[in-house]
Structure 1
Amino acid sequence: MWLTVLLLRYRAKLAALCRRALAWALQLLRGRVCVRSTHAFVFSGCTHGDARSVLETFDLYADTHPSLSIGPQRGEVLDEVVRRVQPQHVLELGTHCGYSAVRLLRMLPPAGRLITVEQEPLAAELAEELILVAGFKHSQFQVLTCSSAEAIPALRPAVGPDGLSLVLMDHDPQRFLPDLLALEAQGLLRPAGCCVLLVDRRQRDGGLRETLDHLRERRDRYCLRTQRQSVVEIVYREEDHSTAVEG
């Protein structure tokens, strides 16, 4: 009887713990299995020094090994945003296999720079190798092997006074809102307008919904521009504006 009472009283907390445990298990599996096999396939099958060949080999792998981290449809959405925003400083939260990092880097201007954050050491190491295989140099990017919560407070020296032009949040949806608030509190979002892309990998996860609910109350700072291929595009502006966050 007491067990039943306790379960009823704390069922919401237990459910949340179960969701977090499942997300952690999926992240671990992705980092130790998917990343390793993806790296081996791309490393051996691509033309080294050719970013286009690296991406084509990634896509070829995804044809027979469906992945949450790889896909030309979602990649094309990212390409379109980068062409429009023309970012100088880009932050990626969730490096995974390095696929999005390569897509971003090949479209940045000569002075552009990417900082990508991955807390799984194996994924960070193998992704960094594939980014180098694609022909990019360490002067163009930096891989931080730590959590987003650890990385964000230390970003200011790398970002400089202009702030971030583009942020790609492709990690745990439960971290979307706290990380977005931390970026804002640290003054790292470009005041003139920073584009934030939220990639919702787990459609049943409440992290994205919680983030959008919060942003509806911040219409003076945030507006939703578009949502497609599980990618939500949000624009941050320092000045008030009238466009509402929807969706």
Structure 2
Amino acid sequence: MWLVAVSIPLLPAVLVASTVYGAKVAALCRRLLSWLQRLTRGKVCVRSTHAYVFTNCTHGKVVSVLETFDLYNRTHPHLCVSPQAAAALDEAVRRTRPSLVLELGTHCGYSSVRMLHLLPPGGKLITVEQDPVTADLGEEIILVSNFKHDQFQVLTSSSAEAMPKLRSLIGVNGKRSWAEGPGEGFSLVLMDHDAQQYLPDLLALEREELLNVSGCSILLISRKRGAEDIAGVLGHVRTRAESYCVMSDLQCVVEIFYQKKTRGVSR
């Protein structure tokens, strides 16, 4: 009762404050909620998406897995790549017909399954995921889609730590330890992890000579139009016009193409 008695005289001040500062307080609350969602979305999204897909799809049927992902994505559009980005990814896989694909950021396994479904016979995928829980759940979804371990490998590692491992794994310019035959580098790279790592990882792929010199398409998922991280990659591409070109620059995905020109050969 004493709390009510003390609060009554303060009501006019509270009402005035809510009227004057209500919009600012509401905006602050929205920003705080958005920040909390971004902070917790990673593991929550992976667990909830995995549970839904695993429970509702037909195991062993890749089309059913993708359709279940799409169904869930209708009410949770931030969890998977957008339909526009998915279409761009499909088109890139069909066009390049890559024998070796690198994915940075496994997430729920959606893009992994989508690419594996379209790879040519003998095509391989390496997907890198830093979070162990996410890596395990993503791998389970890939296996549920009826893909085997000789078709893909999940590396639980940061992208920066993965680069030296990738070189030894695919054996660029030498015998591979995972896939048969001489290594030629990645023909397709999908970056959908920490956008701040896009440029450092691209530079590392160059430095480690992990990109197929005959041609490699690199897709960058863009969560925010005009993001500085994407702009940094595009700035680097512009300074390396002899090796790079921008294939497409959509709202949600940017595709750049890398090809190392042979010295002494004019085109």
Same fold (TM over 0.5): yes
Show the counterpart of 1:233.
255
Rounded Cα–Cα distance in structure 2 between residues aligned with 1:83 and 1:229: 21
Show the counterpart of 1:120.
131
Show the counterpart of 1:57.
68
Rounded Cα–Cα distance in structure 2 between residues aligned with 1:170 and 1:24: 21
Show the counterpart of 2:59.
48
Given the alignment, which residue of 186, 190, 193 partners 2:215?
Answer: 193
Q: Quick one: structure 1 residues 129 and 23, their matched pair in 2 at CA, closer, same or farther if it must change by over 3 Å?
A: farther
Q: Quick one: structure 1 residues 83 and 200, their matched pair in 2 at CA, closer, same or farther if it must change by over 3 Å?
A: same
Amino acid at match of 2:105: G
Runs of 4+ in 1 over 6 A off after TM superposition: 22-25
Amino acid at match of 2:194: D
CA distances 1:187-234 after superposition (whole Å, capped 9, x unpaired): 110000111111112336311111111211110111001122511111
* Structure 2 residue runs without a partner (length 5+): 1-33, 172-182, 263-267
Q: Contact 2:164 / 2:208 at 8 angstroms: preserved in 1?
A: yes
Rounded Cα–Cα distance in structure 1 between residues aligned with 2:142 and 2:228: 32
Given the alignment, which residue of 157, 181, 197 partners 2:203?
Answer: 181
Q: Quick one: structure 1 residues 24 and 106, their matched pair in 2 at CA, closer, same or farther if it must change by over 3 Å?
A: farther
Amino acid at match of 1:74: A
**CA shift at 1:186, angstroms?**
0.5
CA distances 1:72-110 after superposition (whole Å, capped 9, x unpaired): 332111111100000000000011110000000011122
Deviates more, 1:63-72 or 1:92-101: 63-72
Q: Contact 2:84 / 2:252 at 8 angstroms: preserved in 1?
A: no
**CA shift at 1:175, angstroms?**
0.6
What's the secondary structure of 1:198's corresponding residue?
Answer: strand
| Residue 87 of structure 2 corresponds to residue 76 of structure 1 | yes
Amino acid at match of 2:94: R
| Residue 123 of structure 2 corresponds to residue 101 of structure 1 | no
CA distances 1:53-80 after superposition (whole Å, capped 9, x unpaired): 0000000001112224243332111111
Show the counterpart of 1:6.
none
What's the secondary structure of 1:232's corresponding residue?
Answer: strand
Show the counterpart of 2:15.
none
CA distances 1:131-184 after superposition (whole Å, capped 9, x unpaired): 000000111101111100000111123323211100001111111111001001
Show the counterpart of 1:163.
185
What's the secondary structure of 1:106's corresponding residue?
Answer: helix
CA RMSD of aligned residues (A): 2.0
Show the counterpart of 1:224.
246
What's the secondary structure of 1:181's corresponding residue?
Answer: helix
Q: Quick one: structure 1 residues 194 and 204, their matched pair in 2 at CA, closer, same or farther if it must change by over 3 Å?
A: closer
Amino acid at match of 1:29: T
Rounded Cα–Cα distance in structure 1 between residues aligned with 2:251 and 2:92: 13
Amino acid at match of 1:64: T
Show the counterpart of 1:150.
161
CA distances 1:102-128 after superposition (whole Å, capped 9, x unpaired): 000011122111000111111111111
Rounded Cα–Cα distance in structure 2 between residues aligned with 1:163 and 1:77: 22
Q: Share of identical aligned residues, percent? A: 58
Rounded Cα–Cα distance in structure 2 between residues aligned with 1:86 and 1:204: 30
The count of corresponding residues between Structure 1 and Structure 2 is 219
**CA shift at 1:25, angstroms?**
7.9
What's the secondary structure of 1:155's corresponding residue?
Answer: helix
Show the counterpart of 2:30.
none
Q: Which has the larger radius of gyration?
A: 2
Show the counterpart of 2:122.
111
Deviates more, 1:179-188 or 1:151-160: 151-160
Rounded Cα–Cα distance in structure 2 between residues aligned with 1:24 and 1:90: 33
